[in-house]
Structure 1
Amino acid sequence: MNPKQAERLQKKISDIRRALAAEKRKFGAYDDSRGLRYLPTKYYLQLGDYRGGLTYLRWFDKNFPDDGGFPDFLFEWTVILFKSGKLKEAAQKAFETFCANTYLFDRFFGRPVVPIDKYEGSNLATPSFTEHFPYSSGQAELADFSVWLENLALSEDFTYRTSRYIEVYKRLKTEKDREARFELLMQARQLGKGQ
């Protein structure tokens, strides 16, 4: 990346931060219906500015604590945590990414995306979303991350949690009882928190 390209990315980040600050001043809170808050992580990754990305994510987490994010955003968050040496947090965010889209890691590693017969919850969890996913394990700047993620995905704890998560969502697809569905959703949430 040449200095002019880097400067353009930095300007995009500044413009987004400025627009979000204007919303806060105008409304007394963030009203980011355009989803601008999800874009800077992509630019920080392109810049290789993991420290800046981590600072942004701390701000994001403080100002949008209940925001689940989108799968690609969570993936970028995972990469930034990993590249910043925050491996425990990166492992947790990797699981959140998996929960947001159970097909994303297959796409990242170039494996065939095979739909799972489960309750998807949204169209973001379908394989078609992953067709536009811009990251792959073949990218040189993600080589170390790819090795780490592959090892994490094969670990006993991660495979147990992902299997349980899929099992819960398979049951949700056919469960009609409200109380039983609520209980299954609570189980999925506990898995996401590492419990």
Structure 2
Amino acid sequence: MTPKQADRLRKKITDIRRVLAAEKRKFGWYDDSRGLRYFPTKYYIQLGDVAGGLTYTRWFAKNFPDDAGFPAFLFEWLVILFKNKKIKEAEQKAIETFCSDIHLLNSFLGRPHAVSEPWEDEPRTDSLWAEYFGSLGTEVSLTDFAEWLTGFMATERFLTNAGKYVDLRRQLQGEHNVEQRRHLVAQLGEIARITG
């Protein structure tokens, strides 16, 4: 990345932070219907500024505590946590990322795309994820991250939560009883919040 490209990315981050701060001043809350808040994590990774990315994700968690995010955003947050040696938090974010898109982590690792589940709206294909990973164009190596992720995805903790998540989604797909659906949805929400 050239210094000029790096300056452009830093300016994008500054502009987004300025727009979000103006919304907060104007409305008393963030009215980010454009989703600008999801872009800085990618820019921080592209810059290789994982410390700045960690500061940003902490700000995001504080100001948008109920925001589930998008798969790519969660993946970027996961990379930032790992690169800052926040391994316990990275493990949790890996589970959240899996729950957001069951194919993303395997696509990153170059594993074949699993069969789509009936409950997936429009799952991203491996080629779409490959295009995203290519656009990430990071200034930091992700080799160590890929090695760690491969190991973590083989752990009992990850496999148990991933299996439970897929099973609950399959049950929910065919369930029509409102109370049972509510119960299944509550269980799904708990999987991403498991910390142990």
* Residues paired across the two proteins, number: 190
Query: Do the aligned partners of 1:106 and 1:112 also contact (CA within 8 Å) in 2?
Result: yes
Map 1:169-184 onto structure 2 (within 5 A).
Answer: 169-184=169-184
* Distance (whole Å) between structure 1 residues aligned to residue 127 and residue 35 of structure 2: 19
Match of 2:83 in 1: 83
Map 1:126-137 onto structure 2 (within 5 A).
Answer: 126-128=123-125, 131-132=128-129, 134-135=132-133
Is residue 159 of structure 2 the alignment partner of residue 159 of structure 1?
yes
* Distance (whole Å) between structure 2 residues aligned to residue 192 and residue 7 of structure 1: 36
Which 4+ stretches in 1 moved above 4 angstroms?
none
Counterpart residue identity of residue 183, structure 1:
H
Query: Do the aligned partners of 2:112 and 2:126 also contact (CA within 8 Å) in 1?
Result: no
Match of 2:38 in 1: 38
| Per-residue deviation, 1:112 | 2.1
TM-score w.r.t. length of structure 2? 0.91
Tell me the SS of whatever aligns to 1:141.
coil
* Distance (whole Å) between structure 2 residues aligned to residue 130 and residue 91 of structure 1: 25
- Aligned-residue Cα RMSD (Å) equals 1.8
Counterpart residue identity of residue 13, structure 1:
I
Identity %: 52
Match of 1:69 in 2: 69
Provide structure 2 residue ranges, at least 5 long, that are not aligned to the other structure: none
Match of 1:110 in 2: 110
Structure with more relative contact order (C-alpha pairs < 8 Å, separation 6 or more):
2
Match of 1:147 in 2: 147
Query: Do the aligned partners of 2:41 and 2:76 also contact (CA within 8 Å) in 1?
Result: yes
Match of 1:15 in 2: 15
Provide structure 1 residue ranges, at least 5 long, that are not aligned to the other structure: none
Counterpart residue identity of residue 80, structure 2:
I
| Per-residue deviation, 1:187 | 1.2
